[in-house]
Chain A
Amino acid sequence: MAHTTVTAPSSQALRTSLKGKRWWRELGWRYVVIAFAIIYAIFPIVYIFSASLSTSGTLTGSNHLFATVTGANYAALGDTKFWTWAVNTLFIGTATAIGTVLMGAAAAYAFSRFRFTGRRVGLTSLLVIQMFPQLLAFVAVFLLLLSLGNAVPVLGLNSRIALIMVYLGGALGVNTFLMYGFFNTIPKELDEAAKIDGATHGQIYWTIVLRLVAPVLAVVGLLSFIGSFSDFLLAKLVLQSESNWTLAVGLYAWVSDQLSANWGLFAAGAVISAIPVIALFIFLQKYIVSGLTAGSIK
């Protein structure tokens, strides 16, 4: 690896051709470190991919990478509830993401554009409330759904709608701040001009502001989707029957019960569910990075 890089002219911008020891001191070691880092980062992923293709479908049989290649584990997923869980996860995640984006953006718009009594108090209370993660109140959430379910079953335990509602309870909170900062960067003069042209607040919001903040909406939507995708505690408490489970609850059940025997199934399921998330992640990488930093620093 090292040799080819040395002989090639390193960088047009710097026009310095480094040789021998100097090259090693300034550049070469970086490649070595990076190589180790990349092996470290990807070997578990390579392993799970190979395990998903192994014939035996057990933990022991998956240890020799790519010793056997077969689609049997993937085909076996069809005999399980995997696809039901995938659909549930997709439904819950998408509904939560859409709701979070709509409600968070509306709230951020109000805080950013209107001056009203209670605005400062509202922002401060949101900041305080979001410090108490919903996760901590899981006992109360469980009991709340227990009594709501007695009156309206669809809002109670073992209902996917109820779980979405619970997730939407956390829609303000962090997201509002992330969006609030972004909304503030859209010049107010734009709204003013539209207002002078006779646009209502609704038209300004839906047709002007929302279009300009589209990147942050994508970030919030994605983060919210990943949030509900990875939630385990609330999903496990609320969704009780196997056909209502999400992937997190289902895959956990496979691994915690008969880890070795279910390993092939788990590996195949994990690869299938991870691919769309990883693809989205790499695709939206730039936005996510800016969202992650801007949201918290600003």
Chain B
Amino acid sequence: MSSPKPPKVESHQNSDDPADVLVPAEPVRKRPYRESHARNYSAGFFAKLALLAIIDALGVYVVMAAWGQDNALIAWSMVALLLVTNYVYFSKRALPMKYLLPGLAFLLIYQIFTIGYTGYIAFTNYGDGHNSNKEQAIEALLIQNEKRVEGSSGYKLSVVEQDGTLGFAIVDDGVVLVGTAETPLEESAGAVIEGGRVVSVPDFTVLGINDIVTLQKEVSNLRVPFSEDPEAGSIRTQDASNGYVYHSILEYDSEADTMTNVQTGVVYQPNDVGQFESPDGDVLPVGWRVVVGFDNFKTAFGDSRYSEPFVKVLVWTIVFSVLSVITTFALGLFLAVVLNDERVKGRRILRSVMILPYAFPAFMSFLLWRGMLNTDYGFINTILLGGADIPWLSDPNLAKLAVLGVQLWVGFPYMFLICTGALQSIPGDVIEAAKIDGAGVARIWKSVTMPLLLIAVAPLLISSFAFNFNNFNIIEMLTGGGPRFVDASVPVGHTDILITMVYAISGLDGGAAKNYGLASALSIVIFIIVATISVIGFRRTRSLEEII
């Protein structure tokens, strides 16, 4: 920066256009004529052309693949993205967009869309039991409620296999029908029947008894449909040699939009929360996702199963993030002041050693402390405390203390670094002037150093607070949120903070039933809390105005 390179431009790139060189000499033209790659057939142009060709090819592939899967949203979004990309890079007008577009495209898909989608899911009952749309739910219900048709005759059946996919081959009046779970039964011309049973099918391997024994479970779970329509029923087998027709005991009436159980005659009507419900209030197990309004928020704040742990977790989250900022800042500042004396020798090396905990990857620190704090075998109990038996991670209060202690170790070097920077940037003459005016050490510290320091570090303290508010790793890796609340039905514990509670409730860790709707609603709540605090904080420090 101190020695900026002269703004020399490789001349060969422009040498074929002498008009360019003349431009600045012309006083009439206010703006120099801007060359763009769209007009200048240089190496840069061809590089751009090649790059765009690759992007377009990949984009078209995505469009076709999405179209093949009937995913219109992905297909059309990709088409729009490709059109915009090509316009921006071949037009002369969209200059700033040429630089903004790559980042914006990713931001749009993976951040803005996901934020919006989170907002949408928060108002639905998406989760286990409401995983798909209505059409898929009906199909799943019909398939799950299939029963063997009483008294129906069986088919001679052979188990076949193709590239690891199992299927059935049955003999129906001398005709061989072959199908798998995905492809319905179809006539197979080249199949060979021996003793009333299929012994070979083109493209398939007929499995012998030894293979079937090892695949027993897969075979008895296999369902080969008669057609794409789930109402047509399917073939299943228990013994791998006789297949029987299975039909759903539910029947869907698309005009009335009702499900009827043909055995009991009960009629199920769709209800408001995306399930089929009988007049008695029985619901069928598979539902579909519907917009449920503010229900998730009501659950979070009103349903005591969720609201009680939620309030505890919220309080602990705030306590944790405030205390960890205060403790790390206090220790960091203290050490910065101690080291900030020119007479101390080897300061550079001492500083490097001091920031080692910050340089050591944080997630490993958490795992490392998890081992060191182990009650029975950990280093802290066994060696430092001489064989003590302190349940650091399994007692509610000690676990909280442990989380704060570990965060102090991980976080103090950062505060030490920024405080050192801020202290060194305080001009010496200000302190000097205060000394001349007769201020003592304490007075200088209180009235000069501290205010100047705080102005510099306040925005960083707010950022640090916001970061710790969502410090997923320390909780998940150190305590896993434990110890669990004994009285709560949700898998949440004493050291869980909001973000880990959301993770537990979403069910994506496999610990509970999936509830994407409630998890997203809680995400929104976290966002509102963090955003409010940040905005107030940044307003206070006025950095918002300075940035723009």
Does B353 make an interface contact (CB < 8 A)? yes
Interface contact A292-B417, CB-CB below 8 Å: yes
B4 touches A212 (CB 8 A): yes
User: 8 Å CB contacts to B: which residues of A53-110?
Assistant: 58-60, 62-64, 102-104, 106-107, 109-110
For the complex, is B291 an interface residue (Cβ under 8 Å from A)? no
Taken together as a complex, chains A and B put the C-alpha atoms of A198 and B7 apart, in Å, by 11
A142 touches B9 (CB 8 A): no
Q: In this assembly, does B266 line the interface, its C-beta being within 8 Å of a C-beta of chain A?
A: no
Q: Which of chain B's residues 506-548 have a Cβ closer than 8 Å to chain A?
A: 506, 508, 516, 519-520, 523, 526-527, 530-531, 534-535, 543-544, 546-548
Q: Is the CB of A197 within 8 A of B383?
A: no
Choose from A119, A124, A137, A289 the contact partner of B118 (Cβ within 8 Å): A137
CB distance from A226 to the nearest CB of B (A): 7
Determine if A134 and B99 form an interchain contact, defined as CB atoms under 8 angstroms apart: no
* A289-B417 contact, Cβ under 8 Å, with A134-B111, A139-B519, A172-B107: yes
Q: Please pick, from B24, B74, B476, the residue contacting A148 in the complex, using a CB distance under 8 A.
A: B74
> In the bound complex, do residue A199 and residue B7 qualify as a contact, i.e. CB atoms below 8 Å apart?
yes
**Nearest residue, chain B, Cβ from A198:** B20
Which parts of B233-271 form the interface with A (CB within 8 Å)? Answer: none
Within 8 A of A (CB), among B435-467: 456, 459-460, 463, 466
Segment among B64-72, B148-156, B307-315 that sits at the interface with chain A: B64-72
How far does the alpha carbon of A237 sit from the alpha carbon of B231 in the complex, in Å? 36
Interface of A is mostly: helix
State the majority secondary structure of interface residues on B: helix
Q: Which chain A positions have C-beta within 8 A of B111?
A: 129, 132, 134, 137, 169-170, 173
Is A147 among interface residues, defined by CB-CB distance under 8 A?
A: yes
| Docked complex Cα distance between A290 and B470 (Å) | 25
A159 CB, min distance to chain B CBs, angstroms = 14
Closest chain B residue to A50 by CB distance? B379
What is the total number of residues of chain A having a CB less than 8 Å from a CB of chain B? 128
Which residues of chain B in 335-370 are interfacial with respect to chain A, using CB atoms and an 8 Å cutoff?
335, 338-339, 341-345, 350, 352-365, 367-370
Interface residues of B (CB under 8 A from A): 1, 4-5, 7-10, 13-14, 20-21, 23-24, 32, 34-37, 40, 44, 61-62, 65-66, 68-69, 71, 74, 95-100, 102-104, 106-107, 109-115, 117-118, 121, 126, 334-335, 338-339, 341-345, 350, 352-365, 367-372, 374, 377-379, 382-383, 409, 413-414, 417-418, 421-422, 456, 459-460, 463, 466, 470, 472-473, 476-477, 480, 499, 502-503, 506, 508, 516, 519-520, 523, 526-527, 530-531, 534-535, 543-544, 546-548
A-B CB proximity, top 3 nearest: A169-B110, A103-B103, A281-B359
A155-B62, A173-B107, A196-B23 given; 10 more Cβ-contact pairs under 8 Å: A13-B342, A33-B335, A58-B377, A59-B371, A127-B544, A151-B68, A190-B7, A229-B361, A251-B364, A289-B418
A-B contact pairs, 28 of them (CB 8 A): A10-B343, A30-B339, A38-B353, A42-B356, A47-B379, A59-B371, A114-B95, A116-B96, A119-B96, A124-B548, A131-B535, A168-B106, A168-B110, A169-B110, A187-B4, A196-B32, A197-B9, A199-B9, A201-B36, A230-B361, A232-B477, A277-B360, A278-B359, A281-B358, A285-B352, A290-B421, A293-B460, A296-B460
